[in-house]
Amino acid sequence: MKRLLLSVAFLSVMSLSYGQSTIFKPFKVDLGVGYGFGNAKGVTFHLEPKYSIKDQIAIGLRMEGALLGNVEMEDGGNGATSVDISAIASYLVTGDYYFSNNTFRPLVGLGAGVYNMGSVGITTTDNQANIDEPVVEVGTKFGIAPRIGFEAGHFRMGLEYNIITGQPKDFNRNYFAAKIGVVFGGGRR
């Protein structure tokens, strides 16, 4: 976490010396929700303050929470159902490149940082609930998140793929996230 904060501080100092946005206000904050899907499905919530070093380039810090789950029903005659729920918190340094300075602004971006993950598994058999593994603490892993999307005024929509490295083979929580949100600040000067 200390390295991440030092990286953000370094990028901020470099961006201030490089220049800043001339058409748009330099500071903005993205706030939104999303649908996460992959091996498990669920919801995501994110907050991402940003600074535009140029009108086409913005750097930021994405803080996101994802709650993903998976339900499996077995046909073995005993009515067994397995439920697996995972909570993922991520902190990424991000960069976005905007292809336009108009009201509609398509973008591509990339984030890199840390993912904190934990999971719980529950199995029911013949109306009995058994907690298989009370809490599986997967821990903190490094990951990246390439993304595409657009901003239209203060509305933002995008698609990200969260790639988390170093996961156990039987526990893959890489996920796509289709997101919508609002942008506070960052409008035209």
Q: What is the pLDDT of residue 79?
A: 67
| Residue 41 pLDDT exceeds 90 | yes
User: Average pLDDT of the chain?
Assistant: 85
In words, the CATH class of domain 2-6+29-66+88-113+137-185 is mainly beta
| Residue 56 pLDDT exceeds 80 | yes
- Tell me how far apart the alpha carbons of residues 44 and 121 are, in angstroms, rounded to a whole number: 20
One-letter-per-residue 3-state SS of 36-97? EEECCEEEEEEEEEEEEEECCEEEEEEEEEEEEEEEEECCCCCCCEEEEEEEEEEEEEEEEE
Binning pLDDT at 50, 70 and 90, where does residue 74 land? confident
| Residue 3 pLDDT exceeds 90 | no
| Residue 81 pLDDT exceeds 90 | no
Higher pLDDT, 143 or 138: 143
- Tell me how far apart the alpha carbons of residues 135 and 151 are, in angstroms, rounded to a whole number: 39
- Tell me how far apart the alpha carbons of residues 89 and 117 are, in angstroms, rounded to a whole number: 7
| Residue 134 pLDDT exceeds 80 | no
Binning pLDDT at 50, 70 and 90, where does residue 78 land? low
* 126 burial level (CB within 10 Å; 0-12, 13-18, 19+): exposed
